[in-house]
Amino acid sequence: MKINKNKISIVVGWIFISLLAIFLFPDKDLAQKAETPHLGQMSPRTIIAPISFDVPKTAQELEIERQKAADKVNAVFEFNHDESKRSLDDLKQFLSKVGAYGSLQYAIAESNDPDSVQMFTQQASRMFDVLKQRLSTTAVQKLSQDSKARDSLYSAFNRMIQKGISNTLIANTETSVQLFRDNYNIQDVQFIPYTNTTISFIKDNVESNIDASQIQPRERRIDETFAELQMSFSKSQGLQSAFYEALYVFTLPNVFYLEKETEVRKKTAQQQVHLSKGMIPRGMEIVSQGSIITKDILEKIDALQNALQKEEGSKTLTATYGQGLLLLAVVSGFFLFFMLFASDSVKKTNHIWSIIALAAIQLLLFWLFQRISGVLNKPDSILSDSIDLIWIYPFSIAPIIATVLYERRIGLIFSLFSSVMMSFLSGYDLAIMISSFFISWASIHLLARMRYRVQFAWGILSGVSMLALMLVIILLLRNRLDFEIFFSTFIAGTINLIFCTAIASVLLIHLAEKVFGITTVLTLMEMADFNRPALKRLSELAPGSFHHSIQVANLAEKVAEYIGADSLLVRVMALYHDLGKTMRPEFFTENQKQGINPHNSLDPFQSVKIITGHVEQGISLAKEYNIPELVAAAIPEHHGTTVIQYFYHTAKELYPDRTLKEEDFRYKGPKPQSKESAILMLADSIEATSRALSDSSSDALAEMIRKSIDLRLKEGQFSETDLSVKDLFKLEKAFLQSLDGTYHTRVKYPSQNKT
């Protein structure tokens, strides 16, 4: 059933990863990149235009040209006759009243009839009240007394109106605007920044281009008109003041800036900018073999590929389908390699799904960084153009995680998968694929069977060294070996490797352990710490068992290294395998003091129940102390389904008439499921037996080890592991070497002989 579940998981994962890859990378431009040489590289072949095509301008070039086209458009101003007539009529009516008021003043002065004087005075008073609402008393009096001044004011005002009074200041710099503000003590100034020498002027529905200097705001027109009147009436300060006051009161804009019309014309001009630099006719040579690829040539090649892509857009079978099929083949190859070379390392369904999830994360990161590199590759990017952005892709993150979670073989499979995807993203660049594979290999090589976290630092150093070598090779191949290009790309790649290792070691590996129930070497290293609560409990409550566990751990670790098993896992298993003995430590020989054995007062059946009970109690304690399942599995498996021979034979002696079943004296199992559990079973038995030997010679130890292994083999305890007969011979040799070194005969010194 487990095998079926695993196969179903692999098939579902294959379909999911295939669809994800096709969904994330459907862009057929990836295939087009394969034909694109790099800037500065020598062209490997001569390229002739197979079709006629346009060379488009870049986004930056279009933006610059559109801005220039918009700047060339003249600002549009319109002369408003209604406003002009309103201003002239207003001044004319006012001056007429001022003249009438002057006539009344003259009549009052000349009349001798009291009644007439009174009537004229009343009329003049009412009229004066109206006039002084617009101008000061002094100004009204001066203008009422001089008809020539009134006529001159109206004529000058009329000429000013015809010239036009703009509602908007035309300024070519911000400084000129500030000077205008300071000169006239005005803060709120409507202005347009303008550098052209002419403007479009609409008058009487006729548009013409006039000099921009002819468009002047109200304040400057008043100054011009006042200067004209000042010359004609230079001797009368009172009239000059009246003129200036009247001009400020009655002058209103009659020329208006048409902002919307101007913007429409600018947009029209921008839309008329040609999108292409020119056309390349069919049959024209774009670049010859051996020529250096310049920016201009590269733009033509890109334009050709885009043109070919558009031409093929009407075809049923296009590069998109080829891209999808190739991605499907790559994903299929990944799962095939996994099944052929690494399936024995990943046997549980949740572990298979961790592989699938890791592949999905790698694809998603590639997709994310493809978008990021697209943003960074824009002309206004803060990054230097010399950086090859393909090296910011986190191609080593999945290989690092896979190596730490499982083993180097799986890490290498992920390295190959990532490097092939890197070649896709770089336009099927074989050099990039090979380089990224070797860099990933160098990064993970020192992480296999890691025992110390400092190995992550050594992995970074190894990967960075390989990165430097690969960059030199690639740049030499492309004739681009330059210090600036090498250094900037090397820094980007180094940051990428550090980022991948840091994120993997600090976050993703720990997350994978929790989500998928995987026990990594990092966790095992932590579990081997004697200050762990479970081990402190064992050392305090069952010191004899704790000492025995350490001895078994040392012995099993050496033996595991000899046959290529996971030595760290075996060591940690050994440290926790007798955790259940802490519940009733005095019932186990290694914890008994002064020769007191409580089993002497118990029935063999009761003793067996206590002895076998420490397994179930150990499993319960493992759950309580959150010991990983991989480690906790050793608690029942290191005894397997063996018979407790001592109490079985004791029962037979005490109850010779009873029919005894071995099953009543057997551990419940299961049998060892891995090499590591099998090694622990043998180490536990051999270590305990060796302490009871009176003869510790090599021959005696070899005989004891051989009998122990043969006994477990005959009992079928190794039937569910992948231990071979060859492995058992290696185990026998390894146990003998380890124990022989422990029980070697020490040289006796003279002082010891005398005693």
Q: Cα separations (Å) of 605 from 251, 392, 589, 595, 619?
A: 122, 68, 17, 22, 22
Secondary structure (DSSP) of 202-215? EETTEEEEEEGGG-
- For residue 656 the two structure tokens come to 């010779």
Q: How many Å apart are CA 188 and CA 217, to the nearest integer?
A: 13
3.40.50, 1.10.20, 2.70.70, 1.10.1760: which CATH number matches 346-515? 1.10.1760
- State pLDDT tens for residues 625-655: 999 998 999 999 999 999 988 888 888 888 8
1.10.3210, 2.60.120, 3.10.620, 2.50.20: which CATH number matches 522-744? 1.10.3210
1: pLDDT confidence band, cut at 50, 70 and 90?
very low
Place of tokens 């994978």: 512
- For residue 507 the two structure tokens come to 């976050």
Position 400 pLDDT exceeds 50: yes
Position 305 pLDDT exceeds 80: no
Q: How many Å apart are CA 520 and CA 472, to the nearest integer?
A: 36
- State pLDDT tens for residues 17-37: 999 998 988 765 554 454 556
pTM as predicted: 0.62
Looking at 525-666, which runs of residues are DSSP E strands? none
Q: What is the pLDDT of residue 39?
A: 67
Residues 6+ apart with CB under 8 A from 375: 381
Q: How many Å apart are CA 482 and CA 39, to the nearest integer?
A: 13
Identity at 308, one-letter amino acid code:
L
Cβ-count burial of 528 within 10 angstroms (0-12 exposed, 13-18 middle, 19+ buried)? middle
Position 693 pLDDT exceeds 50: yes
Q: How many Å apart are CA 298 and CA 561, to the nearest integer?
A: 57
Secondary structure (DSSP) of 113-165? -HHHHHHHHHHHHHHHHHHTTTS-HHHHHHHHT-HHHHHHHHHHHHHHHHH--
Q: How many Å apart are CA 608 and CA 615, to the nearest integer?
A: 12
Domain ranges of the chain: 72-260, 346-515, 522-744
- State pLDDT tens for residues 85-110: 999 999 999 999 999 988 888 888 88
In the three-class reduction of DSSP (H, G, I as helix; E, B as strand; rest coil), residue 529 is classed as coil
Q: What is the pLDDT of residue 616?
A: 93
CA 526 to chain centre: 31
- State pLDDT tens for residues 486-545: 898 999 999 999 999 999 888 888 888 888 888 888 888 889 999 999 999 999 999 999
Q: What is the pLDDT of residue 306?
A: 78
**Residue 505 contacts residue 397 (beta carbons within 8 Å):** no
**Residue 1 contacts residue 8 (beta carbons within 8 Å):** no
Position 424 pLDDT exceeds 80: yes
Q: What is the pLDDT of residue 162?
A: 94
Q: How many Å apart are CA 434 and CA 428, to the nearest integer?
A: 11
Position 750 pLDDT exceeds 60: no
Run of H or E residues at 76: strand 76-79
User: By C-alpha distance, which of 667, 662, 572, 655 is closest to 615?
Assistant: 667
Across the chain, what does the average pLDDT equal?
87
